[in-house]
Each structure stands twice: as structure tokens, then as C-alpha cells.
């Protein structure tokens, strides 16, 4: 076989539900040479990454580190490490990713109860508290922003409710971390996980995670050291063994501690990426970053409305980084997505389950949460729709979006 | 917080047991822009990656793809998907990673039997067949090359033995794939997994895997589709559910099939890396590549011997990509490693378990399996040892190594 030309991805503007365009500084960081996992320069990079994610998660939690896998690896690591077979878990489902939490919970042997609301809505705190009273779960697992519906569940009061009922609170912030406010400590969240490929503008493949001591202590009690590493005379660990080696947070904590007890080989390049994502977010400042996401969302919504398009779901609880748009009657939604991709290189998202064929989803997050990206997306969508027979007043979308940025 | 300078890793030559230096073409591939996971350009890259790894694994297996995690993610994915609670697994242990296979097998609920040999040796096929007769396992799980001992288990006859006894054969080729011959189909291996950070000269964080149809059919029967994606009227799947969502190979096969049924979001950049690793290996040609690794190993061994150092373990079964060296009496092994790192930027490996403090491990794999790397390592080691009181004849190591390359 002779060596063929290096594969180059086609030019794209990624404005779907994620991954979105990586920040070029993150791409640059991933081209850096590797280091050995116990090289002092690399263990220093691990320690630095922990500190940076404490900033991003707004927490003082010692146990703030990465799981080597995509966002759902972080979810599974928390659930398999916290839940023992037969433990009760309660999940408020308001979209696809609530179902995923249930699915993973059942796989690890938990007894799962759920409350559900229609896609496009969220829960009142009282509804969650009522369900807690009824179910008496060990763990409440809740998605923050569910990209499948574009809704963000208000969480400010949920931590206090959980403490009142002695329930642990886990939040899946895959789609919101770094773009929507989520103060882990102030909101009394016991565990939170995320991914890089949404508001942090990195590639999928690393899952930042934070655990408070109340939860970490419970997990540490289930610690079992691998044979082949363990002193033969040392105890093997207490409590039911965690049913995964890869996702065993008790072992992962030892690996990320000063002990550096060998577990997996940390994914060097993904750590460089995760570190750079956090550096960029903190250099901008979280408050400025959240405000940028809100402003971009307002501009996009104003533009879509001016084009006569209807935004999906409960406007008061829409995520600032994903916007659902009803596909207008008579328009073939997939044909429009195809035109945007092939004529402009712009990707917007389709949808799942009950919303399939009914809405598009437009992502404005991290590096794509900007005036320029909104402007490009609106004029391209306007042009494609016009060619497909849906005519909005020319330039109306762009004018409305720019007016938001102009403060008009 | 103001933005600080971009972190740059210190200059290193990584000659430990892995990760080793990434090929610069792999680093370059990782700086490429992202693509959406259902972008035709990305699904084409997934399909291309499957075809490339068929080449690397020397297999026609349809189910040849990536698990998003480090090498042990691939191991756990196979074991949790194949083994049902109570199934018997047999593991020949000749180093640390045999223990790891046992550990993961027990975590997923299997009944694990092992045979053990002293670190530095391997098993005769007859010993493995005897154990199969006694244990009658469903699965034989065996490491190919165990970096903890630098030994490679001969596997050419093991597949035929397994077929005779109707046992499935899984091989962990993390440390050998792409550097040491491992013809998956010719050797009747049912499942094989690897990582990128050894002979493939990529970063840790992606686990290439191949399954033959005999195994894939068994796994597919345990398929359960996630709620939230499943047609409510469709059946939920047969057989005991796989106790992990992330590692459910039945679902991963659907994601990597033409159906592209959504599971996780594929780790875009790690896929670019894995693809480039395979492209480089196949462009060189596997036979040339294996010969290069053998030649480099011979040169390193000759050089070490000429320095009066003793190579560890059974020479007939030493891996071509990792070499164990006894630390000479009176020399502080960790001090030597420290000097090599701080004075030369060269990393060599320490060791685990029964070999801790007794041997160093020197990796020569992928991009570091070259004459230049061996030369640098030998002269630096020679210089450091001399300063630490161990005097070899000046230049003896280098001369002996270069003589091997000169064909003398």
C-alpha cells in the first residue's frame, strides 16, 4: 500500500447540538507532543487540570478530575460508583437524556423511578420534592440542559430539597457546563459531570467530573485495589465491589491523588484538550461567558421570530446554547439541513423521538456563540428556505439579530 | 483571571513501556477541525477507520471499530459484553495485565480461573490446553505481550486449541498491535483489542477492537435499545442485559453499522488519531514494520549486553518492543531514571509488583523503534551509569548496537 494524501475534513460551521467547532487554541493544544503518565510535567498538568475545573464547576471539591471517555462515560462512572444493586434512583425526565440516566441506572442494578413531563417543559421544584417524598431515593439524578428538547431544568432549589430529605444529587451538565450558570457548591450538588464538545468547544472524548466529600467518602469505602498492584497482605476493600474497573471512581480518585496509584494510562492529548478548554473559559470569565451565550441566544431567537419561524418549547426555560425551531408547514426539514450542509457547509441539528421531523435544533455554544455565527446561520437559512418555497421578508432575520447586539 | 502563556510540554524522548512519542503525522491529524458525528464526511471517516483496522488486525471481520477510552476500555467492553454472570473465564497470567483481565472478569460477574507462571516466562500451549480441559471455560482471555514482564505469549496454536474445546478466545493486544505479528484470522482469535499508545505511536484514549461473527452474533443477541430512542412497540432485547451502557458492544455495533443508531458521540479527534496511526502502519507495511521492531530490539539487547547489563526474562519470548534490564547491584534504579529524565529528557520505565526495584523497562516501539533512538538511549544510559559508579567499556553499547544495524 502506498501512502495517500492526508485526510482533511471539509470546511464546516457546526451549529448543531454538538460537537460544535473546537476553539483553534484547543486544536493547537492537541498537536503537542505526549508525555509519560508519571512524568512530573504530566502529573503537574493533571493537578493543574483539576484546579482549572474547580473554577469551571464553581466548586472547592478536591475530587474534580477527568474520566477518559465521552460525556456518557462520566455519567456511567458516577452511577456505577454510587449506586449499589437495589438502591433507588429517581430521575425527572424532560427529554432523551433523562431516559439515558434511567437506562444506565438500571444497567448498574439500581431500582429506577422516574417522573416525566412533556418534551418542551421542565419540572417545578415542588413536583420533584413530591416525588422524593414518595420514592425516597438514595440518589436524585437530573439532567441540567437536555439538548433533545433545548430545555434547562432550574436547579437552584433542588440541592436544598435533596439535603432536607437526605438524598444525594447528581447533575448531568454535559450540555451546559461553561455556557450556562451552574454553581455546584452554591446549589449543593453532590456530583456533576460534563463533556467538552458543547459549551467548552473541545472534542468529545473527555468527561470532566466533580464530587463533593460527602459523596467521595461513600465511594471510597467501596475501594478495591487491583490484584497485581495490591500488597498481598492488604485488605481487598469494603462493601460491594463496583461492577466496573474502568469506571471505578474509588480507584480513579487514587490515580488522581498524590499517590498516583496506577489505573489506566491517562489520555494525554484529551487531557491537553480539556485543560485548554478550561483555560479559555476561565480567561474569558464565567460571567462574561454566560452573558455572551444569553445574548447570542436572544439574537438568534429574535432573528428566527422575524423570519416568521416559531421557537420550540417553554421560552422561560430555553437553554442559552441550543434553540429548537419548528419546521414550517410544507417544508422538508431534512432537505433544508442537506442544503445548508452542502451549499454552505453549515450543520444544524435534526431531532429525536417525539420531536423527530418537527423541529430543527441550532447550537450557539462556546466558539460558535457569536454574532458572526448567528448572522451566517440566519442568512443561509433564509436563503435556503426561500429556494424551498418559504419566503420570509428579505434580511428580516439578520436585521432583528443585529438589533439585539446593537442593544436596540 | 488573565490569560497566561500556552502550556508547552518539555522536550522528551519517551522510551518507557508507553505512551511513547506520537508520530508527528498523528499529532498533526489531531489539530484538524471537528465534524458532526452524522456528517457524511465523518461517517465516511468511521467506515474508512474500520477498513484500516481490518488491515492492522489482519482480519476480514466486519466488526472492527473503536471504543472511546483507553486500552482497558476495550478490554472491559469485550468482557462485559461476552460474559454473562456466572460464565467461566480462564486467564493464563504471566504478568500484571493477566491479573487485570481477571479483575475485570470478576467485576462483570464471571467465575474466573487462572493459571500462573513466574514473571519472565510464558505458557506452553499444552499447559493452556490442560487448564481448558480442567476448567471448561466459556472464554479464554489472554494477554499477547505483557509490558510488565516484557514477555509475549506465543498464540499461534491457542486458537485451534480453543476451537477444539468450543471455547471463545479473546486476546489483549494493547502492547503489541502494529509492532509484533498478530494475524487475528489466521490464529482463530475471536476478539482482540488494543490501544494506540504503544506500537501504533498515537496517544492513549482510543481502543481499536475486532470481533468475528461467531462472537458478534452472541453479543448481538443481548442487544437492548435505549429508552428514548426505541420505538415503544419494539422488543427490548433478549438475554441478560449487558451491565454497562457505555461498553455495550451490541449497541456499539449498531452505531458503527450503516444504521448509525445513535449511542455516544464518537470522539472525533481520537478517531482522527486512530485513523492516522493505522494509515502510517499500513503505508510502511506490516511485515517491514515487524522486522523493524525485531531489528531494533536485537540492537538494544546487543548494546545492553556489551555494557555488561543483563536482559530480563526468557529471551526466546521477549517482546520486540519492550526490553527489561536488570538494575546492576549497587546502582539506585530510580536515581538513574531521574538522571536520564532531567539531564537528557529521556524516559525509561520502572516496574511493578515482583519486579519493582529490580528491572528497568525500555520501550522501542512505533516511532521510537529506530536506530537513532537506541543510540541516544544507550549513550545516555552509559553516561549516567558511569557517573553513578557503574563503568562499562566506553562506547561498547553503541558499537554493539550499530553493528547489529550494519548486519555485522
Render pLDDT for A52-84 as a digit per residue (tens, 0 to 9): 999 999 999 999 999 999 999 999 999 999 999
Query: Could you tell me which chain A residue has the CA closest to the CA of B225?
Result: A103
Query: Searching chain A, which residue's CA lies closest to the CA of residue B77?
Result: A246
DSSP, res A311: B
B267 contacts in A (CB within 8 Å)?
69-70, 203-205, 270
**Contacts with A288 (C-beta within 8 Å, 6 or more apart), sequence order:** none
Nearest 5°: the CA angle B34, B37, B42 is 70
Please identify among residues 151-180 of chain B the ones whose CB lies closer than 8 Å to any CB of chain A.
none
Residues A40 and A123 in one domain: yes
Write out residues 282-311 of A within 8 Å (CB-CB) of B.
282-283, 285
For residue A45, the chain B residues in CB contact (below 8 A) are 7, 9
State the average pLDDT over residues A183-198. Answer: 98
Same domain, B213 and B227: yes
Q: Which of B224, B253, B282 is the endpoint of a domain?
A: B282
* DSSP one-letter string for B81-138: HHPPTT-EEEEEESSHHHHHHHHHHHHTT-EEEEEE--BTB---HHHHHHHHHHH--S
Query: Do the chains contact at A244 and B245, CB–CB below 8 Å?
Result: no
- Residue closest to B33 by CA, chosen among A158, A269, A202, A148: A202
**Rounded Cα–Cα distance for residues B166 and B170 (Å):** 13
Mean confidence (pLDDT) of chain A: 95
Whichever domain contains B333, its CATH number is: 3.90.1150.10
Q: What are phi and psi of A13, to 5 degrees?
A: -120, 110
CA B210 to chain centre: 13
Whose CA is closest to B2, among A284, A57, A276? A284
- Chain-centroid distance of CA A126 in Å reads 25
Phi-psi group of A66: left, alpha or beta (phi > 0 → left; psi -120 to 50 → alpha; rest → beta): beta
Each residue's pLDDT tens digit, B98-138: 999 999 999 999 999 999 999 999 999 999 999 999 999 99
Residue A251's nearest CA partner among B338, B72, B94 is: B72
Nearest to A31 among B30, B72, B267 (CB): B30
Q: Which residues of chain B make contact with A198, given a CB cutoff of 8 A?
A: none
A262 inside 8 A of chain B by CB: yes
Distance from CA of A133 to the nearest CA of B (A): 25
Chain-chain contact of A73 with B69 (C-beta, under 8 angstroms): yes
- Based on the fold, state whether residues B100 and B87 are members of the same structural domain: yes
How many CA atoms, within 13 angstroms, populate the side-chain half-sphere of residue B184? 30
Q: For residues B55 and B52, what is the distance between their CA atoms, to the nearest angstrom?
A: 5
A7 inside domain = no
pLDDT tens for residues B168-205?
999 999 999 999 999 999 999 999 999 999 999 999 99
Angle at B344 between CA B343 and CA B348, to 5 degrees: 110
Q: What element of type H or E holds B386?
A: helix B371-387
pLDDT value of position A130: 98
Beta-carbon-side half-sphere exposure of residue B285 (alpha carbons within 13 Å): 6
- CATH number for A45: 3.40.640.10
pLDDT, residue B233, reads 60
**B113 vs A: CB within 8 A:** no
Who has greater pLDDT, A332 or B1? A332
Report the chain A residue with the minimal C-alpha distance to residue B34. A21
CA Rg value for chain A:
22
Selection from B97, B198, B333, B72 nearest residue A68 by Cα: B72
Interface touch A243/B109, C-beta < 8 Å: yes
Non-local (6+) Cβ contacts of A233 within 8 A are none
CA distance A231 to A225: 9
Does residue A277 form part of some domain? yes
Within-domain flag for A199: yes
A8 lies within 8 A of chain B by CB: yes
Residue A2 has pLDDT above 50, yes or no: no
Is A246–B247 a contact, with Cβ atoms under 8 angstroms apart?
A: yes
CA distance A98 to A142: 7
Mutation pick from A4, A9, A206, A275 vs chain B, by most beta carbons of B within 10 Å, is A9
pLDDT single digits (tens) A113-125: 999 999 999 999 9
> CB contact, 8 Å: B107 with chain A?
yes
Check whether residue B250 and residue B296 sit in a common domain: no
CA B145 to chain centroid? 8
Tally C-beta pairs within 8 A across A and B.
Answer: 293
Among B36, B48, B341, beta carbon nearest to A14: B36
**Cα(A146)–Cα(A95) distance, rounded to whole angstroms?**
6
Average pLDDT over residues A325-347: 98
B52 to chain A: nearest residue by CA? A1
Q: Is B405 on the interface with A (CB under 8 A)?
A: no
Sorted by sequence, the CB contacts under 8 Å of residue B213 that are 6+ apart come out as B61, B62, B63
The H or E element containing residue A140 is strand A139-143
Could you tell me if residue B13 is inside a domain?
no
Q: Of residues A2 and A33, which shows the higher confidence score? A: A33
DSSP letters spanning B345-358: -EEEB---GGGTTT
Beta-sheet pairing, B346-348 with A168-172: unpaired
Please give the pLDDT value at position A5. Answer: 79
B278 in reach of chain A (CB within 8 A): no
Alpha-carbon distance B328 to nearest alpha carbon in chain A (angstroms): 23
User: Which regions in chain B score pLDDT beneath 70?
Assistant: 1-4, 226-238, 408
The answer to whether the CB of B379 falls within 8 A of the CB of B274 is: no
- Residue B305 exposed, middle or buried by CB count within 10 Å (0-12, 13-18, 19+): middle
Q: Is residue B148 part of a domain?
A: yes
CA–CA dist A333, A78 (Å, integer): 37
Q: Is A7 on the interface with B (CB under 8 A)?
A: yes
Interface of B with A in 326-355 (CB under 8 A): 341, 347, 352-353
Q: Cβ contacts (< 8 Å) between B80 and chain A: which residues?
A: 244
What secondary structure does DSSP assign to A94-122, as a single string? SSHHHHHHHHHHHHTT-EEEEEE--BTB-
Of the candidates A223, A254, A282, which is a domain's last residue? A282
**pLDDT at residue A103 above 80?**
yes
Q: Structural domain of residue B398, as residue ranges?
A: 286-405
Is A132:A115 a contact under the CB 8 Å cutoff?
no
Calpha distance A52→A55 (Å, rounded): 5
What residues of chain B lie within 8 A of the CB of A345, using their CB?
none
* Closest to A283 in 3D by CA, of B326, B2, B363, B272: B2
Within a domain: residue A395? yes
User: How much is the ipTM here?
Assistant: 0.96
Mean pLDDT of chain B: 95
Q: Chain A residue closest to B266 (CA)?
A: A204
Q: pLDDT confidence of A335, banded at 50, 70, 90? A: very high
Cα of A13 to nearest chain B Cα, Å: 9
Kindly state the greatest CA–CA separation across chain B: 78
Assess whether B270 and B311 both reside in one domain.
Answer: no
Give the Å distances, CA to CA, from B269 to A206, B96, B205, B286, B373.
Answer: 11, 30, 10, 25, 28
Share of chain B above pLDDT 90, in %: 92
Per-residue pLDDT band for A50 (boundaries 50, 70, 90) equals: very high
B45 in A contact zone (CB under 8 Å): yes
Q: Does B223 contact A at CB distance below 8 Å?
A: no
For B103, the closest of A10, A245, A352 (CB atoms) is A245
List of chain B residues whose C-beta atoms are within 8 Å of the C-beta of residue A47 = none
Task: Say whether B7 and A195 touch across the interface (CB within 8 A).
Answer: no
Q: How far is A204 from chain B (nearest CA, A)?
A: 5
Nearest alpha carbon to residue A192 among A82, A313, A57: A57
Cα B225 from Cα A353, distance rounded (Å): 13
Query: With contacts defined as CB-CB under 8 Å, which chain A residues touch B28?
Result: 6, 31
- Candidate from B21, B265, B285 with C-beta closest to A33: B21
Is residue B263 domain-shared with residue B310, that is, in the same domain?
A: no
Task: Pick the last residue of a domain from A282, A310, A337.
Answer: A282
Kindly state whether residue B14 falls inside one of the protein's structural domains: no
Same-domain check for residues B269 and B296: no
A275: chain B residues, CB-CB within 8 Å: 7
Residue B2 falls inside a structural domain = no
pLDDT of residue A138: 98
Total of domains in chain A: 2
Same domain, residue pair A346 and A245: no
How far away is chain A from the Cα of B403, in angstroms, using its nearest Cα?
30
Distance from CA of B240 to the nearest CA of A (A): 10
Half-sphere exposure of A120 (CA within 13 A, CB side): 15
Asked if B36's CB is within 8 angstroms of A347's CB, the reply is yes
Comparing alpha-carbon positions, the chain A residue that sits nearest to B76 is A246
Q: What are the C-alpha distances in Å from A80 to residues A14, A127, A142, B245?
A: 33, 26, 16, 11
CB count within 10 Å of CB A160 equals: 13
Higher-pLDDT residue of A1, A29: A29
- Report CA torsion sign: A154, A156, A160, A166: positive
H or E element at residue A391: none
Please indicate, yes or no, whether residues A200 and A145 belong to a single structural domain of this protein.
Answer: yes
Q: Which of A27, A41, A247 sits opposite B31 (nearest CB)?
A: A27
Tally of CA atoms within 13 A in the half-sphere of B216 that contains its CB: 17
Work out the end-to-end distance of chain B between its first and last CA atoms, rounded to an integer number of angstroms.
61
B241 and B373 together in one domain: no
In 3D, which of A86, A130, A141, A135 has the Cα closest to residue A110? A86
With a CB-CB cutoff of 8 Å, which residues 21-40 of chain B face chain A?
Answer: 21-22, 25, 27-37, 39
A37 and A151, same domain (yes or no): yes
Measure CB to CB from residue B347 to each of A39, A204, A341 and give the nearest one: A39
pLDDT at B227: 62
Residues A377 and A344: their CA atoms lie apart, in Å, by 9
Quote the pLDDT of residue A1: 42
10 Å Cβ neighbour count for B316? 9
Is the Cβ pair B99, A227 closer than 8 Å?
yes
- A264 and A325 part of one domain: no
Taking the CA of residue A316 and the nearest CA in chain B, the distance in Å comes to: 24
For an interface test with B, give the residue of A2, A24, A31 to mutate (most B CBs within 10 A).
A31
Amino acid at each position: 500500500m502506498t501512502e495517500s494524501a492526508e485526510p482533511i475534513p471539509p470546511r464546516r460551521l457546526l451549529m448543531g447540538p454538538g460537537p460544535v467547532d473546537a476553539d483553534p487554541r484547543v486544536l493547537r493544544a492537541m498537536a503537542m507532543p505526549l508525555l509519560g503518565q508519571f512524568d512530573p510535567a504530566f502529573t503537574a498538568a493533571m493537578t493543574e487540570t483539576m484546579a482549572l475545573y474547580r473554577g469551571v464547576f464553581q466548586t472547592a471539591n478536591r475530587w474534580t478530575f477527568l474520566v477518559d471517555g465521552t460525556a456518557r462515560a462520566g455519567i456511567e462512572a458516577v452511577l456505577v460508583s454510587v449506586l449499589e444493586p437495589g438502591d433507588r434512583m429517581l430521575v425527572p425526565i424532560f427529554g432523551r437524556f433523562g431516559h439515558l440516566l434511567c437506562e444506565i441506572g438500571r444497567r448498574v442494578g439500581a431500582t429506577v423511578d422516574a417522573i416525566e413531563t412533556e418534551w418542551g417543559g421542565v419540572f417545578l421544584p415542588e413536583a420533584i420534592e413530591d416525588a422524593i417524598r414518595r420514592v425516597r431515593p438514595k440518589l436524585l439524578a437530573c439532567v441540567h440542559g437536555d439538548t433533545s428538547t433545548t430545555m434547562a431544568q432550574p436547579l437552584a432549589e433542588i440541592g436544598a430539597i435533596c439535603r432536607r430529605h437526605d438524598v444525594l444529587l447528581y447533575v448531568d451538565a454535559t450540555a451546559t457546563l461553561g455556557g450556562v450558570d451552574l454553581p455546584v457548591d452554591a446549589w449543593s450538588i453532590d456530583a456533576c459531570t460534563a463533556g467538552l464538545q458543547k459549551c467548552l468547544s473541545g472534542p468529545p472524548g473527555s468527561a470532566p467530573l466533580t464530587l463533593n466529600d460527602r459523596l467521595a467518602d461513600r465511594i471510597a469505602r467501596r475501594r478495591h485495589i487491583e490484584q497485581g498492584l495490591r500488597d498481598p497482605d492488604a485488605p481487598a476493600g469494603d462493601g460491594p465491589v463496583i461492577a466496573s474497573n474502568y469506571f471505578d471512581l474509588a480507584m480513579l480518585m487514587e490515580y488522581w491523588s498524590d499517590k498516583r496509584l496506577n489505573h489506566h494510562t491517562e489520555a494525554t492529548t484529551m487531557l491537553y484538550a480539556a485543560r485548554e478548554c478550561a483555560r479559555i473559559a476561565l480567561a474569558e470569565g464565567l460571567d462574561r461567558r454566560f452573558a455572551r451565550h444569553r445574548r447570542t441566544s436572544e439574537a438568534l431567537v429574535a432573528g428566527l421570530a422575524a423570519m416568521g419561524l416559531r421557537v420550540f418549547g417553554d421560552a422561560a426555560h430555553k437553554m442559552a446554547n441550543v434553540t429548537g425551531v419548528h419546521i414550517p408547514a410544507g417544508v422538508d426539514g431534512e432537505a433544508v439541513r442537506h442544503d445548508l450542509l452542502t451549499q454552505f457547509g453549515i450543520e444544524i441539528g435534526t431531532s429525536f423521538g417525539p420531536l423527530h421531523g418537527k423541529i430543527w435544533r441550532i447550537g450557539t455554544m462556546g466558539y460558535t456563540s457569536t454574532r458572526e455565527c448567528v448572522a451566517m446561520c440566519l442568512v443561509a437559512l433564509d436563503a435556503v428556505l426561500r429556494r424551498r418555497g418559504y419566503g420570509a421578508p428579505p434580511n428580516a432575520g439578520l436585521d432583528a439579530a443585529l438589533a439585539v447586539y446593537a442593544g436596540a
